[in-house]
Structures are given as C-alpha cells and as structure tokens.
C-alpha cells in the first residue's frame, strides 16, 4: 500500500488497533484516522517510525492515539 485515502477510517469508532507492515506509504489523506477510538494504538516499523508518525499527525487524527515501534 502506498496511500491511505482521505477519511479512509473516519468515524470507525471501534477501530482500536492499526498495524503498518509495509514501508512504502507515501501519503495519508486528511482525517484518515479521524474520530476513531481515543485509546487506539498504531504499530509502526522502526525504520519508518518518524516518517509515519509525521504523516499521521499531519492528517489530523483522533487525539489520544498512541504510537508504538515494532
């Protein structure tokens, strides 16, 4: 996967776990992770951790999400 579209997971209030396996995501659309569970955890590969966190935060996610290196 290279792109996560705009509002892809928006309003998925039961979404609590997100796991990135690949290292090729270039773009995350606006509000892709907006209004998901406030205790959601995002697992990201170590090599692309900083890049993905920056992309996710730029897309205006739900406040309270936690990011973990795997």
Domain boundaries, the chain: 3-69
Span 6-39, pLDDT tens digits = 999 999 999 999 999 999 999 999 999 999 999 9
Listed residue (60, 58, 63, 56) closest to 18, CA to CA:
56
Q: What is the pTM of this model?
A: 0.91
Question: Parallel, antiparallel, or unpaired: how do β-strands 27-28 and 3-4 relate?
Answer: parallel
Q: Write the DSSP assignment of the chain as a string of letters.
A: --EE-TTSSTT-TT--EEE---S---EE-TTTTTTS-TT-EEEE-GGGHHHHHHHHHHT---TT-EEEE-
Span 50-63, pLDDT tens digits = 999 999 999 999 99
Tokens of 19: 């796991």
């Amino acid at each position: 996967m290279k792109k996560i579209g705009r509002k892809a997971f928006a309003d998925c209030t039961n979404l609590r776990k997100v796991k990135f396996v690949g290292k090729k995501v270039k773009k995350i659309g606006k509000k892709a992770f907006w209004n998901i569970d406030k205790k959601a955890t995002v697992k990201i590969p170590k090599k692309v951790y900083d890049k993905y966190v920056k992309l996710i935060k730029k897309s205006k996610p739900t406040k309270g999400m936690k990011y973990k290196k795997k």
